[in-house]
Each structure stands twice: as structure tokens, then as C-alpha cells.
Amino acid sequence: MKTTVVYKKSEQFEIKGDFYSTTVDAAPIIVYIHGGGLVWGSREDLKKEQIKFFVNEGFNIFSIDYRLAPETKLPEIKSDIEDALEWVRHEGIKQFNYNHEKMFVMGGSAGGFLTLLSGTFENKPNAIISFYGYGDIAGDWAHQPSPHYSKMTAVPKQLADMLVKNEAITVGPIQQRYAIYMYGRQSGKWIDTVSGSMKKDNLLQFCPLHNVDEKYPPTLLLHGTMDEDVPYEQSVLMRDALEKAGVKNKLITIPNGKHVFDENWEDPVVLKAFADIVEYLK
């Protein structure tokens, strides 16, 4: 059963989340953070097959929106995720039946990045599941033109600028927003766009890779070796940092897996990966 709630609001915006309830009493909760390069996407991007899978396995799910870039910059996006986790810890339990002491955060791509970033929060999740996320937004891969996107038809800066709104938005259809991301990846200005041209020293505080310590939550990383958008190396580096800090972790490598490999629900390798997720969490 789905229930939509507002977990954060101001005079300028309100941010929603969809709560999917399992029939298991006082079950754990997975907070799902959608991807989209921090530029597009919504809480409804979570695939129905995945919702059904986790609910049937005895997990509640809270799939959230957050303010999108470039209208909203990275520090405020981070604050939205922090507030979502605060809502789950302290407010959601007044309305829903779940175990707030078993809160797991899961996301893919940009959602994987925000999921990894949640491990640096004061109010940390109890475990993290990152699908093809990235821990280092200060690295060359994010600041140089992407070889993959550079092969595609060039997006003019004027077009990308035209698609930017004058107010904060929390839902961004890919058809209306993808060109913003494309221009950023083709030009190497993607991180400047989402951060407000933040200097590298300031950007490092938003890099999970550079902020791992012994208090970081247990983390499960999943990444395909043929990911054309986010380099597989990003999960390898994150694993190495977790190992160095003594944090429980596991990297599930998907041989020849591409970006959003998890949407191929007919693939036995994908189904095995999801079974491994449940085993890891339980």
C-alpha cells in the first residue's frame, strides 16, 4: 500500500515521499533516493518490481523527492536528504509502523552518491546500499568532458540554460531536464552547475570518499564493469576507503554490467544481486 506524505516544506516548496508498507510488524525501512545526475527524476522512479520485491521480503520503503539542481545547489540538496532521514527517525513513526532503528538508505547513480553521502551525516543510516554511486565529485571523471556523452549530439549552452526554472523544483521529468545534464557532462561543467562553481577545497566536504571514518555505516556497493556514465572505479575506490577505515562493506561486481543494470529484472545476475542485498541487510 502506498501513502504519499510531505516530509519537508517552506513557503517556496514542499517535498514529498511515497511510503510503501509491508505486512510485517515493526519491519525495517529502506529510504530510496532516486538518480538523475542531481538534475532530473522523482520519487516515482523506483521500479515496481523492486518495490514488490522488498515489500514481500519484509521491508518498508520510503521513496523520496529532493530539490533538484541547478535551481538548488548541493548544500541544500544535502539538507533535504538529512531532513528526510530525520523525518524517518522522529516523525514517520507517528504515522507508520516500522522499526526506526533499522533504517537503510538505498539509491542509484546520483541517488547512490547521496546515499553514500548520508554515511557522513550526524543522523546516519544503519546501512547503505549504493547502486553505481560515486564517492568523489572532485575527481577528474566528474570535471572533464565525458567520453561517453561527448560522442552524442552536442547540447548548446543556450538550450541547457533555457530549461532552468526560476524557482526550486522537486520533480524533474527526464524529457525536460536531460539536456541540462548532457551539456554539463559534455562540457565538463556538470559539478559547477550543481554546486554553484564551488572550489575544490569546499567540494571535498561533499565527497564521501574523502570523509570515511570508523563511524561510517556498513555499506554494500553494486556496480557494473562496463558502466559508461559512472566509472566502475568509483565503487572500487569507495570499497578501498571503507576497508582502510575498518568499515564492514561488500562490493558486488556485475560483469559487463552497464549503467542502470538493475532495471533488467529478467537477468538472473540482477535477481541474484537483489537476493544478496536482502541477505546483507538481514
- CB distance 46 to 119 below 8 Å: no
The pLDDT of 11-29, averaged and rounded, is 96
Which candidate, 112, 75, 104, places its Cα nearest to that of 203?
Answer: 75
Beta bridge mates, 8:
15
Q: What's the pLDDT at 133?
A: 98
Query: What are the structural domains, with CATH classification, of the chain?
Result: 2-208+217-258 (3.40.50.1820)
CA distance 124 to 81: 11
CA distance 188 to 150: 10
Q: What's the pLDDT at 1?
A: 85
Mean pLDDT (the chain) is 97
Counting residues of the chain whose pLDDT is more than 70, the rounded percentage is 100
CA distance 194 to 197: 8
Please count the residues of the chain: 282
Q: What's the pLDDT at 8?
A: 98
- For 186, residues 6+ apart whose C-beta sits below 8 A from its C-beta are 145, 146, 149, 150, 152, 154, 155
- CB distance 21 to 1 below 8 Å: yes
Position 259 pLDDT exceeds 90: yes
Position 27 pLDDT exceeds 90: yes
CA distance 29 to 282: 12
Which candidate, 85, 88, 81, 49, places its Cα nearest to that of 65?
Answer: 81
CA distance 206 to 202: 8
Q: What's the pLDDT at 248?
A: 98
Q: What's the pLDDT at 51?
A: 98
Distance of CA 151 to the CA centre of its chain: 26
pTM: 0.97
Q: Using one digit for the tens of pLDDT, what is the confidence trace for 84-110?
A: 999 999 999 999 999 999 999 999 999
CA distance 137 to 131: 16
